[in-house]
Amino acid sequence: MRLLFLGDIVGKPGRVAVLEHLPGLRKAWQLDCVIINGENAAGGFGITETICEEILAAGADAITLGNHSFDQREALVFIERQKRLLRPVNYPSSTPGRGATLIETHNGARVFVVNAMGRLYMDALDDPFAAVDGALMQCPLGSVCDAAIVDMHAEATSEKQAMGYFLDGRVSLVVGTHTHVPTADHRILPGGTAYMSDAGMTGDYESILGMVKEEPIRRFVEKTPGTRLEAANGVGTLSGVAVETDDRTGLAKRIAPVRLGPGLSRAVPEFWETDASGD
């Protein structure tokens, strides 16, 4: 199975990058499932129903969130009816929405998606390890689902790596989000789980984490309150990770970073580019 995960969409540049690139990538790379973190899609803060539907229509199979899940208050309502929009599974049980979902792909395969949020330097939530473990017990890889993807939305790389090894051999991919900078540690762990500490952001990299540079710099220099952060408005770059799984086990066979657009060196899964070209 061919899986694509894209990191945090930040504002309009990120949304435009998805709309421009994703439909063509689904066809060229023959993608079976696409998951996108969309927690910063609405001007850098949360997601609206209109934007959610726009991203799904462009080719995403599910959208994960994080600590900005409900920055747009309308999300408290529409997340209940949109089964393909996930908030972290370790939010309190009374929180609207769900933290995991089972997707059926166009070819009938089943992909289980779990969204979790770390606790180091983040909001105090329930234990993400126990929450993810409980979700996977309900939908084990190889029996109930054909592939499983976990988005670990966390600040600390150590916590993301710990989740990767905790789930090694039990899921197809553990990928980190939240820090908006793509890491170079994409690999397949000993048990067969693909891993990457952070998928990066899908947004304007001529910025500070997707935001217009001046206000973050001023805050560091002056250490005084200022204006609200605003999403940068340049050309967006698509950033994420591509994984191919073994149809027999659901574990990873190949992994590669994906970066398309200005500001970062271009990266594509050469094994799929070759397949698409017929070479």
Q: What is the pLDDT of residues 158-170, one digit of tens each?
A: 999 999 999 999 9
DSSP string, 213-237: SHHHHHHHHH-S--PPP-B--S--B
Tell me the pLDDT band of 225, cut-offs 50, 70 and 90.
confident
High-pLDDT (> 70) share of the chain, %:
98
Condensed to tens digits (0 to 9), the pLDDT of residues 74-111 reads 999 999 999 999 999 999 999 999 999 999 998 899 99
pLDDT at 140 over 60: yes
Q: How many alpha carbons lie under 13 Å from residue 238 in its C-beta half-sphere?
A: 25
Condensed to tens digits (0 to 9), the pLDDT of residues 59-80 reads 999 999 999 999 999 999 999 9
Q: Fold for domain 2-277?
A: Purple Acid Phosphatase; chain A, domain 2 (3.60.21)
pTM of this prediction?
Answer: 0.95
Type of residue found at 279: D
User: Burial level of 11, CB count in 10 A (0-12/13-18/19+)?
Assistant: buried
Catalytic residue list = 68
Domain boundaries, the chain: 2-277
Mean pLDDT of 243-263: 97
Mean pLDDT of 104-132: 95
